[in-house]
Structure 1
Amino acid sequence: MKVQETTLGAVASNIQTGPFGSQLHSSDYSDEGTPVIMPQDIVDWKISEQKIARVSEEHVQRLQRHKTNEGDIIYPRRGDLAKCAYITDNETDWLCGTGCLKVTIDEARANSKYVYYHLQQPYSTSCIELATVGSTMPNLNTSILSKVKLRLPSIDIQNKVVDILSQYDELIEVNRRRIAILEEMAMRTYREWFVFFRFPGHETTEFVDGLPKGWKYRSVTDILQILYGKDHKLVYDGLFPIYGSGGIMRYGNEYLYEGESVLIPRKGTLNNIILADGKFWCIDTMFYSIPKIPKICKLAFFQLKAFDMEVFNSGTALPSMTIKILSCLKLLVPDEKYRTLFEQSISAIFNELTYLKKLNVTLQQMRDRLLPQLMSGQLEVTP
């Protein structure tokens, strides 16, 4: 496959930083309005809406030049600099926020989706890593991005590759939506039972001091044994998920624990509480847990998700969580009868969630194996 060696700057019509802090203050954010994409919203090479900030239309009009269009590519200026996200129709007319950069590809020179896929390859990511190595606080800018190297085949070949890879992405996205719906169903069931106390038989249940008789609040460390994760650098690639504070980082040939476990970030994104099951590894910036009482992990997971863990941050430069802080958090522990009934009521939902997540892992692995082969020409594509 004949390719042309070029740079991101050569195929981009524009590369610009998001608004400066003086243009967009923390007091400008609101619960409703247009989403503003921050570095923490770039998750798994796409935009996550889970914790996204928003601003009113007044600020959108003032910051028109920072609005996103389908096909734009968003990079963080700090943090994990090699990750980026592709703006789909869903994120069109959002704002590129403070701490991010926006790349607009000239479609006459390159297919923007192809460029996005290419930027996930070592040939491109190494340009960023080498340009920022040695910095105390690695910082990405328009100059570094402009020099990122690309190897581009003809537009026709680019379009064909995008067609192939997009089929995997579309299937993965459909499954992600189904997962989000199922997670919302599980959360609503939890809230119905344990927040509003409308569990089966609540009409005839005796309440003492506002709680069903036999239910009590207990410390996180009373019901979960909290353990430190371990460094994964010496773990070879394999089948077992390796979790970091952003979710699954990769898959390894060793596991740290087998069973249901609530994973709690120790550094970084403190609010990303994760419920893991089966064999997994947990890195050293995470806590994992072993239940001390039966059928408590899902209940602990839902309750910890309801906390704003950032409020308990004990760090300075980097957000941090400690076992001592966790020992001060109280969780509602129903009696074993209702823990068992709740487990039974949502088991079908979690079985489906497990199936869909494993299916997405398989699809992602298939796509990720295809990606470098298509990019390098190892698998020949005819326009």
Structure 2
Amino acid sequence: MSTWEKYRLGDIADLSLGKMLDEKKNRGDMFPYLANVNVRWGIFELENLREMRFEPKDMERFGVISGDIVMCEGGEPGRCAIWNDAVPGMMLQKALHRIRPKIGFNYQFLFYSFLYLGKTDGFSHLLTGATIKHLPLQSLAKLEVKAPPLAIQERIAESLSSYDDLIENNRRRMTLLEQSARLLYEEWFVRLRFPGHEHTRIVEGVPEGWHKVPLGKIVGKIGSGFTPRGGDAAYLPEGTPLIRSLNVYDDQFQDDGLAFISDEQALSLAGVTVESKDILLNITGASVARCCMAPERYLPARVNQHVMIIRVDREKADPFFVHKAINSDERKRQLLSFAQKGSTREALTKEMVSKFEIVVPPVGLMRQFGGVASQVFQQRETLALQNQKLRAARDLLLPRLMSGELVA
């Protein structure tokens, strides 16, 4: 440990905050930007990126380049990921810090230092705010980071990143699998090239025997969740999984941020328990209408008040078909319009979801599609479980390497 030294982050990296979102004052050309919701631990969620105006003088101050660490200032202060130029011309909103290491410091090593601090409550002494926590720039600059010489930093980063490289490879495979299921849905149910289409009459743009049906007619149960007693203080390292809106993305479940409550609290609370083949739908806030299948690896589970459980009556429809129908581009736009009606905050109610209509083919065709989609889902679950184990192995190694106990 004698070769490790303490540094203030402001001395070993250039720090800056993103740009304030102000449509009236901002000038220049439109560029995509990262917001707090786009940054997870170690990864970026780049679906549905928003844009705002930036001037040429803003490019250096608010832009990101490969190797920059992007960190949340609020939400979950300290949560961060390494930017790798996945989207050209990316900029930052004010809710994010940009950390650009100086010569002599490895950006991957710094990221793993932050990951270690995040897992050991190492940012808490720098946070402000009684209820909503923030990590101000001046406080972040004072953060103490322990680091060995550069060569050792690089070896530590290489050891830990080998796990993350495998995780990322699995994530890419999962994305390709999900794309295959989405393309099949579009081929059969949007372009209408389903098995037997050559012998099916089209009546007013819809194949004969297909019907527009409200979800309430084909769903056995619709239930919403609850706020745990004690709020965030009730969250535990293990127990009954509590799925929140930050876990639910279109076509995928995000493990990062999954909370747990005690089994006793889960049993004492009324509401619906998440079961196999349930559909999870976000019903409030910026992520409203995002929808995915319940992850088998975390069942049985509960949901909080921002997530709705949709349980399809399997005698009437196939859950994988219903999930893809809800997530299709046209239906997604309609569902979002439902959420925006009559409310200053986007929200969906049980009544709205029950009345929401999708076009359903005969049950046999739905089940034929569901058979294929189910196989894709199970392959994705297998890869997700592998990633879960890889993260656990990395996290066992992390404190030993970052403390200097284990020499890389």
TM-score by length of 1: 0.85
> What is the match of residue 258 of structure 2?
250
The partner residue of 1:213 within 185, 200, 208 is 208
Taking the aligned partners of 1:363 and 1:320, their CA distance within structure 2 comes to 36
Partner of 1:261: 278
Residue 337 of structure 1 aligns to a residue whose secondary structure is helix
* 2:38 match: 41
- Report if aligned partners of 1:41, 1:51 keep a CA contact under 8 Å in 2: no
Secondary structure of 2:258's counterpart equals strand
Q: CA distance change for structure 1 residues 227 and 107 in 2, over 3 Å: closer, same or farther? A: farther
Q: Please tell me whether the aligned partners of residues 163 and 394 of structure 2 are also in contact (alpha carbons under 8 angstroms).
A: yes
Alignment-derived partner of residue 313 in structure 2: 292
Alpha-carbon contact 1:215-1:332 (below 8 Å) kept: yes
Match of 1:10 in 2: 11
Asked whether the 8 Å contact 2:320–2:373 carries over to 1, the reply is: no
113, 118, 121: which one pairs with 2:116? 121
Name the SS of the counterpart of 2:33 in structure 1: strand
Kept in 2: contact 1:101–1:141 (CA 8 A): no
Deviation per CA, 1:152-192, whole angstroms, max 9, x where unpaired?
23323221110001111111111111111111111011111
The alignment partner of 1:331 has SS state of strand
Q: CA deviation at 1:337?
A: 0.9
CA distance in 2, matches of 1:270, 1:297: 20
Tell me how far apart the structure 1 counterparts of residues 211 and 29 of structure 2 sit (CA, whole Å): 37
Does residue 169 of the first structure (1) align with residue 164 of the second (2)?
A: yes
**SS of corresponding position for 1:103:** strand
Q: Deviations over 1:56-109 (max 9, x none)?
A: 9xx47452212212221112333222311211253575222343221111132x
Unaligned runs of 5+ in 2: 248-254, 267-272
Matches within 5 A, 1:48-63: 48-54=45-51, 59=54, 61-63=56-58
For 1:118 and 1:310, locate their aligned partners in 2 and report how far apart those are by CA, in whole Å.
40
How far off is 1:42 after superposition? 0.9
Separation of aligned partners in 1, 2:323 and 2:55: 36
Show CA shifts across 1:12-67 (max 9, x none): 1x21111233489799786xxx64222221134322221223579xx474522122
Taking a change above 3 Å as real, the CA distance of residues 126 and 235 of structure 1, as seen in their structure-2 partners, is closer
Going from structure 1 to structure 2, the CA distance change for 1:145 and 1:291 (only over 3 Å counts) comes to: same
2:361 aligned with 1:334:
yes
Kept in 2, the 8 Å contact 1:226–1:287? The answer is yes
In structure 2, relative to structure 1, the CA distance for the partners of 1:37 and 1:315 (3 Å cut) is farther
CA contact under 8 A between 1:15 and 1:103: conserved in structure 2? yes
The 1:296–1:24 alpha-carbon spacing in structure 2 relative to 1, beyond 3 Å, is farther
Which amino acid in structure 1 is aligned with residue 115 of structure 2?
Q
> Is contact 1:39-1:76 (8 Å) kept?
yes
Q: How many pairs are equivalent?
A: 374
Aligned to 2:270: none
3-state secondary structure, aligned to 1:151: strand
Using the aligned pairs only, state the percent identity: 23
Q: State the secondary structure of the residue aligned to 1:6.
A: strand
Pick from 293, 298, 301 the counterpart of residue 281 of structure 1: 301
The secondary structure found in structure 2 opposite 1:120 is helix
Provide the residue aligned with 1:362 in structure 2: 389
CA RMSD of aligned residues (A): 3.2
Inter-partner Cα distance in structure 2 for 1:49 and 1:242: 24
